[in-house]
Structure 1
Amino acid sequence: MKLKTYRIRKPKIVVIGGGTGLPVILKSLRNESAEISAVVTVADDGGSSGELRNSIDMAPPGDLRNVLAALSDMPKLYNDLFQYRFNQDDKFLANHTIGNLLIAALSEMRGSTYEAIQLLTNMMHVDGHVYPSSEEPLVLHAEFTDGTTAVGESSIAKDRKTIHRVYVTDKNNKTAEKASRKVVKAILEADMVVLGPGSLFTSILPNLVIKEIGDAVKETAAEVVYICNIMTQRGETEHFSDADHVRVLHEHLDAKFIDTVLVNTEKVPENYMDPEIYDEYLVQVVHDFNGLREEGCRVVSTDFLKLRNGGVFHDGEKVVEELFRIVFGAKI
């Protein structure tokens, strides 16, 4: 039974991440009574986003576009138009989406991707707040356990090396410290901060290693919840257990800041995933409940699985139902 009941006030929930996992949770959160703030990575350098950030001084728009679409109540036709991607054979427009181009145009008009996103939030009737994690594009760096390095989000997984740590730099190659306006305030005033689901090293950590965001997540009185990935990811989390995911997060911020971990225990059917579409995902994440307890986390383990079109996803409604149990039990 869904938890859509009368409440004294809406809980303030901040969701941090990027990639395809974040919109799944946000779509389900939008259907509940919550005050939502999404903090979205700006370290993407591939595809349409990468081309635009290299052409215009702007944060990459792709993840921001998907979050706006997930939280918008625009008619389906408008949303479909916003998300429309031109065909590969369309020469100059190949692979670009209408939404990415619109964000690029507004960023250039206003001189700020942050301002562009706030304008689109109003234009698209977005139910919540959407903030880029930084007000300038950032570059993601990885240091591997063999001492080598990689620069750029799209290049990190190519050699399938074990990642020691990641960090982000600004356009002056200085370590990124400053968050977008209102991000720190949203985290400190939240009832719950949700991390993920999403790629550990390229969607979640690029936000947390911005010093102001990492410090705020450690300082906040909010319940900090990590939604652990269902599958391991090629070149990022190969052979990782759920406890390994949490350990890496804690090591990057040098603190055990995660209060609760959501873990899927439902088995993915053998040979279900379509390897041609989802070639970066390998095997199901194994469980290490003793390791999670050693990291100081409460563990919620149940069936969060949703199978769709040859892919493995979190069931947004089940996840959000659990999040609301936690937030009302812990903070309100």
Structure 2
Amino acid sequence: MSYGNKIIRVIKGRRPKIVVIGGGTGLPVILNSLRDKNAAITAIVTVADDGGSSGAIRDYINVVPPGDIRNVLVSLSDLPADFLNIFQYRFNSKDSFFAGHAIGNLIIAALSEMEDNIFDAVQKLSKMMKVDGQVFPASNEPLTLNAKFQDGTTLSGETEITHARNKVERVWITNTQDSTQPPKAVAPVLKAILDADVVVLGPGSLFTSILPNLMIPNLGDAVRQTKAEIIYNCNIMTQMGETEHFTDADHVRVLDRHLGGDFVDTVLVNTAPVPDNYLDHQKYDEYLVQVKHDFEGLRDLGCRVISDDFLDLHDHGVFHNGEKVANEIVNLALQRDGRRRR
């Protein structure tokens, strides 16, 4: 069922507070649609990415990887498109350092050095880029993602884990600079979660984009303690090694298991079929098949299900329809009346 597309613009004289937690390419799609809904948006972005330009910069300079943060800043920025295109531009030079780097990644790395931390750097850059909302790195220090696979082996590093194409059993994170120090989120991140009307998880890779945030101990505690409605925006496709053969209920079970209890209140589920032979499996080689539905399993987990055609097909890829998902999220925020079960 679905609440439809009607949006109520006012809730007790204030903008609804929406926190979105994740990373990867799916997060900016939802944020870009939410920014037009008269909501107070906070994006909490993973800092455990170690691939591509972000990983190379992380190797050269001891900073939090900037790639996901860059994309989120652009999705919420009010700057003209020409400026944003420059910020997103990747060098195609064959120079050993600049090749493949996005200009925005270099700017974020430079500001991190100038401000002596990534959090203050992103806040300054948010003002410069006229960001409508708040963009918070999940942690102020670089984090390393670790995984144990179902065959008992372990690996460290988001890229290594993804490329292993092995079935993940559980993940955890450690402080990259000092593994003896527990990772932590800064106070504004925790306050945003505790003050929110809704907290949205995803879309994004379950084990490598969503859970790295929730595995930060005090951030995970805040998600468990908040009175906000917890919404899981379920992935449309399964991913090799991560969620092979998963149903939508299996995704929620993994989240619950990692956080130690049933904490997801509402699940957004796409019910539109992906046409046969549409997906370009060479371009999107991590995707396998469409996530199967288990509505009874979701209800047994205490979840309310909102199902609809959330599908957006283009460039032979499978994506969420940002506008439809954003409408449902805002409706839930506006209709929130202390429903939180836990």
What band does the TM-score fall into relative to the shorter chain?
over 0.9
Count of residue correspondences: 332
Letter in 2 for 1:236: E
| Map of 1:130 onto structure 2 | 135
* Equivalent runs, 1:153-302 vs 2, <5 Å: 153-170=158-175, 171-174=177-180, 176-302=182-308
Deviation at 1:4, TM superposition (A): 5.0
| Map of 1:29 onto structure 2 | 34
Kindly indicate whether the alpha-carbon contact (under 8 Å) linking 1:28 and 1:320 is maintained by their aligned counterparts in 2.
yes
Stretch moving more, 188-197 or 289-298: 289-298
Q: What is the CA–CA distance in structure 2 between the aligned matches of 1:121 and 1:240, rounded to whole Å?
A: 37
Q: What is the CA–CA distance in structure 1 between the aligned matches of 2:192 and 2:242, rounded to whole Å?
A: 29
Kindly indicate whether the alpha-carbon contact (under 8 Å) linking 1:306 and 1:315 is maintained by their aligned counterparts in 2.
yes
Stretch moving more, 87-96 or 77-86: 87-96
Kindly indicate whether the alpha-carbon contact (under 8 Å) linking 1:223 and 1:331 is maintained by their aligned counterparts in 2.
no
Deviation at 1:90, TM superposition (A): 4.2
Deviation at 1:5, TM superposition (A): 4.9
Letter in 1 for 2:215: V
**Identity over aligned residues, as a percent?**
60
Alignment TM-score, normalising by the size of structure 2 = 0.94
Kindly indicate whether residue 147 of structure 2 is the aligned counterpart of residue 142 of structure 1: yes
Stretch moving more, 232-241 or 153-162: 153-162
Q: Classify the secondary structure of the residue corresponding to 1:182.
A: helix
Kindly indicate whether the alpha-carbon contact (under 8 Å) linking 1:4 and 1:33 is maintained by their aligned counterparts in 2.
no
User: What is the aligned-residue RMSD (CA, Å)?
Assistant: 1.4
| Map of 2:80 onto structure 1 | 75
Kindly indicate whether residue 107 of structure 2 is the aligned counterpart of residue 102 of structure 1: yes
Give per-residue Cα distances to partners, 1:146-165, cap 9 Å, x unaligned: 21101000011323222111
Give per-residue Cα distances to partners, 1:89-130, cap 9 Å, x unaligned: 344211100000000111111111111101110000000000
| Map of 1:59 onto structure 2 | 64
Q: Classify the secondary structure of the residue corresponding to 1:60.
A: coil
| Map of 2:55 onto structure 1 | 50
Deviation at 1:324, TM superposition (A): 1.8
Kindly indicate whether the alpha-carbon contact (under 8 Å) linking 2:238 and 2:288 is maintained by their aligned counterparts in 1.
yes
Question: Of 328, 331, 335, which residue of structure 2 is paired with 1:322?
Answer: 328
Alignment TM-score, normalising by the size of structure 1 = 0.97
Deviation at 1:25, TM superposition (A): 0.4
Q: What is the CA–CA distance in structure 1 between the aligned matches of 2:181 and 2:232, rounded to whole Å?
A: 25
Give per-residue Cα distances to partners, 1:136-182, cap 9 Å, x unaligned: 00000001122110100001132322211100000211363411230
Where do 5+ consecutive residues of structure 1 fail to align? none
